[in-house]
Amino acid sequence: MMCMDWNTLGPDARQHIEEILGYLNFSAGTPDPKFLKNLSELFACIDNRRKDGEPTWRRLGAVLQQALPVIKGASEAFRSVEQAESLVPLIFDYALPGYRLHHRDLLFHQVDEQLFQPFFIGRMSEAALRQGPPWNETERIVRGAISMLNDYIGYRPVAVLQTEQKIQPYVQEWVRPVPLFIRGAGVGAGPYRELVQTALQILEDTDPAILYDAMFPAKQLDELAFDPRAYDFDHPVNKRPNYLFGQWDMQRLDNSGRCRRFIVQQAALEVMMDRLENRGKVPYKEVLFEEAAVLAGTMLMGAGISGSQPHAHDSTVSLPALVQKIADYRDAFYQQLLHRLEGSHAQRLRREAEALKQPFGGARQHFNHFLAQRRANLGCLAYKNLLCFVDLKGMITP
């Protein structure tokens, strides 16, 4: 693990480091938004100063490790740092790599930088701490932390099969969505930070009547995360209406039976980032707002399909009626958002809306076209792989 001199990160970074190590040294794993926020800010500080290809999460671990002997004994609070001394290498050298090994099939397509973002590292830290001492039992702690961390399966229609599994998911099917926003800690550092911050601000400013119709009470959102699994366009699960737009997590409920975590698909985020990166001469801030508007709009559509609690839709609700309701509040959302804009950006979007027959038409059509192209490309790739496989069997040639 390469080292970065933590003293070059500035006084704010030193405070973040001390508070992170304080949590790791004294906590039993109780979630603490302040700890998560400190992780995010330190992560961003390190990432901004990174000059080579070493992953930021690795540098984060190196900085914390480097700081331990410096703060040890520096104050009464850090008279003993034995727990932190055990936890830092346990998390960065064993638990996080162990997670990749555990999901070597499910998450084969992911790179560490996409998975090991600051809030994910924070959740792994909490899970490791909750395993309890003795801290030298690495295998027990890593195994328990990964099991505790994997808490999401999503929508899973499974036929009743005569197997020993008794329709229960396999252990490797459970995964941990990568947190983007956590209440009290804000939006985490990472590639999607500005996009998510802007989208959440748009939702906060949205007409409460639209949020009510969409079953998206903003105060109910404790966590926003993305599903890191590969998106299979042809899987029956993903052919549900608006599944790609996201959904409330029905397994993360409060005492009143309301969902507290919303999951979006990484494929949708990638579409929006693509337009940001290939915006041409259009100002960055304008395209950022447009893509954030589409993210907010798709989240509202996904919430309307899933509902914000298990009994949101009963058997009397028909799909055609539900889709029409969603279309109505979707149109109202984009119209109201466009109406609030002023200046040259608003003038350009109004001209665009007139030409494309829908507000924010450029961003919305890019979203649909990009996904349609990706689905077609994946279909062609699967067909080519099938031909190659059959050719290897000596049955036909491409």
Query: Three-state SS across 65-134?
Result: HHHHHHHCCCCHHHCCCHHHHHHHHHHHHHHHHHHHHHCCCCCCCCCHHHHCCHHHHHHHHHHHHCCCCC
In Å, the largest CA–CA distance within the chain is 75
Distance CA(151)–CA(174), nearest Å, equals 6
Contact 246, 262 (CB under 8 A): yes
99 closest CA partner among 150, 63, 62: 150
Contact 182, 119 (CB under 8 A): yes
The pLDDT, as a whole number, for residue 386 is: 37
Q: Indicate the angle between helix axes 33-48 and 56-71, nearest 10 degrees.
A: 110
Residues 6 or more apart from 36 whose CB is under 8 A from it?
Answer: 118, 119, 122, 182, 184, 185, 188
Residue 42 has pLDDT above 80, yes or no: yes
**Strand pairing class (223-227; 178-182):** antiparallel
How much is the pTM?
0.88
- Residue 182: in which H helix or E strand, if any? strand 178-182
The pLDDT, as a whole number, for residue 387 is: 41
Exposed e or buried b per residue across 248-272, where buried means at least 16 C-beta atoms within 10 angstroms of its C-beta: bbbebeeeeeebebbbbbbbbbbbb
Residue 25 has pLDDT above 50, yes or no: yes
Q: Residues, the chain, total?
A: 398
Determine the average pLDDT of the residues in 143-169. Answer: 77
3-12, 103-112, 201-210, 231-240: least confident range: 231-240
1-10, 99-108, 229-238, 383-392: least confident range: 383-392
Q: How many CB atoms are closer than 10 A to CB 78?
A: 18
Determine the average pLDDT of the residues in 284-310. Answer: 94
145-154, 165-174, 384-393: least confident range: 384-393
Residues 6 or more apart from 171 whose CB is under 8 A from it?
Answer: 147, 150
186 forms beta bridges with 182
**pLDDT by residue (tens digit) across 51-89?**
667 899 999 999 999 999 888 877 777 888 899 999 999
**pLDDT by residue (tens digit) across 61-71?**
999 999 998 88
The pLDDT, as a whole number, for residue 56 is: 93
**pLDDT by residue (tens digit) across 332-348?**
999 999 999 999 999 99
